[in-house]
Chain A
């Protein structure tokens, strides 16, 4: 009991009791993942979204066995990816989380041909709403999100995304969108420590 209470206090201190974008209380970032997401929020000085569910077999433990890319740029934008690579033909499960603190416009990426720039996220094909978040579904994405379906939304003047690769075992955009809907529903905000 004492341990539980202490953990609760720590969680409160770190600000990881989650709130959806609409402000309604939600579940907390899972205890084993919370530390990493809190550190990320602190580093970028802005709220970040921690998932409470991930497509099988991934978890969202930053520093854990599935963490792939962990990158924070000078402008405080971040990319955190989780990847399970199936060497024996079982396929890949790859989920990326991005945040662009203070930025509300879609960034540009190097174009696929010639010396051009293209939107990093393009071909909007609809919307998903869950957890107080209304996200736009983008189907053609660049860089680490290439071949992914991506959800993009805004929160307090900042842009956030989550995406998943369309590949076996989640081998259709329809199946990936189902995962993204569930991910969206599972997101909890982690505030930076004051």
Chain B
């Protein structure tokens, strides 16, 4: 199928809040085979979604949902908090009963911000919000910019964000409508995107979508690439397993009353990706050492799934040594200093996590939003109908501080205070020179039992 840029843009403009350009996902990609059986019960965690795995270049990889969306909203006309809590929970329960909690059905994650807790349940929040013992602060920290962020990165203040994940765009659209037709929500943004395909051979969905949209550099993306930047990011061994990102699992967090047991922290950002710079200025070898670490010389030209299991993690001393030797550090190597377990660890529930296990659970997806599919304040958000390559980055960590440690390490700022001194957004600092963060916000994801207006009943 051939799509002209005019056709593509026309479709995007015509359907700002509908399927719009993302309906192409259904035309350009096919849903992977998924088990249709309903899971025996809903997990206590909202952020967990049971994903199948496959193999890519000999490495076990998680197959992400084809479609993802995040809708952010503010609360308005909210005279009856308890009533609103019941109404939203009723809608969510109806959605639960309609769709299996799998990519073939729908995954829904409702996350709440500091703004919500401060405005509507401030007294309860003071008593019940978990406390990060390691950081000696709340698990929900104020949203901040990082050294490689531009000074105009927007720090958002939405009350709530809902992450919707499915292989079927119509499931996402129906649930979005059900939830955000509730009278107390004012939608502030809709963010849509896609991931995956390509593991079975042929062009991946991000490649097809980018080419169809005509974004700069689209024709340079390797055919089977899971994401725009050419490397597979959903290796099973590189993703946090099970409940590791729960507040309580690794012992970083004091749950206090226990109200938020089975909850987690969610960071949401939009990042523009300069695909042309990535593929025209970095040769394959430099893309490898930029994405992973300097000194990786044994990667076959064109390889996309570069093993990143626990054994591939290098210690901080090695990161620093390589930096002093080469003047640069890799994205994975710098983050893994904080995102992987430094020693064998037994979780609160007795689960054994070997040294090198990843902690964050990622749910990011590529997008052609610029920066969003819809914004209630297009001027403020810099909204454009021209498609642009980017990623809606969604990640779950045990606490906001844990996320910040990882993100700072990505900029060469290590938790022990060491700095790998590189100018912000320099080519020597991993991916940073080709990424531009436009928006950021932190959220808390309550356990499923408290997903609707947490603390409102107290």
B-binding residues in A (CB < 8 A): 112-116, 118-119, 122-123, 139-140, 146-149, 166, 171-174
B12 at interface by CB-CB < 8 Å: no
Give chain A nearest CB distance to B303 CB in angstroms: 14
A-binding residues in B (CB < 8 A): 214, 216-220, 276, 279-286, 326-328, 427-428
Residues of chain A within 8 A of B281, CB atoms compared? 112, 140, 146-147
Distance between Cα atoms of A166 and B281 in the complex (Å):
11
Known: A173-B219, A173-B220, A174-B219. A113 touches B280 (CB 8 A): no
Residues of chain B within 8 A of A116, CB atoms compared? 326
Contact across chains for B280 and A112 when beta carbons are under 8 A apart: no
Known: A123-B284, A140-B282, A146-B281. A113 touches B216 (CB 8 A): no
Known: A113-B326, A114-B328, A139-B220. A173 touches B280 (CB 8 A): yes
Known: A113-B428, A139-B220, A173-B219. A166 touches B326 (CB 8 A): no
Contact across chains for A139 and B280 when beta carbons are under 8 A apart: yes
Contact across chains for A123 and B427 when beta carbons are under 8 A apart: no
Known: A113-B326, A113-B327, A113-B328. A140 touches B218 (CB 8 A): no
Residues of chain B within 8 A of A172, CB atoms compared? 214, 216-219
Contact across chains for B218 and A112 when beta carbons are under 8 A apart: no
Residues of chain A within 8 A of B328, CB atoms compared? 113-114
Residues of chain B within 8 A of A119, CB atoms compared? 283
Which of B220, B279, B285, B326 is in CB contact (< 8 Å) with A114?
B326
Contact across chains for B327 and A166 when beta carbons are under 8 A apart: no
Contact across chains for A139 and B279 when beta carbons are under 8 A apart: yes
Give B422's nearest chain A residue, CB to CB. Answer: A113
Give chain A nearest CB distance to B93 CB in angstroms: 48
Q: Which 5 pairs show the lowest CB-CB distances between chains A and B?
A: A114-B327, A122-B283, A140-B283, A123-B283, A113-B428
Give A114's nearest chain B residue, CB to CB. Answer: B327
25 A-B pairs with C-beta separation under 8 A? A112-B427, A113-B326, A113-B427, A114-B326, A115-B327, A116-B326, A122-B285, A123-B283, A123-B284, A139-B220, A139-B280, A140-B280, A140-B283, A146-B281, A147-B276, A147-B280, A147-B281, A148-B280, A149-B280, A166-B280, A171-B216, A172-B216, A173-B279, A173-B280, A174-B219
Give chain B nearest CB distance to A128 CB in angstroms: 15
Distance between Cα atoms of A123 and B302 in the complex (Å):
10
Give A141's nearest chain B residue, CB to CB. Answer: B280
Residues of chain B within 8 A of A139, CB atoms compared? 220, 279-280, 283
Distance between Cα atoms of A140 and B280 in the complex (Å):
5
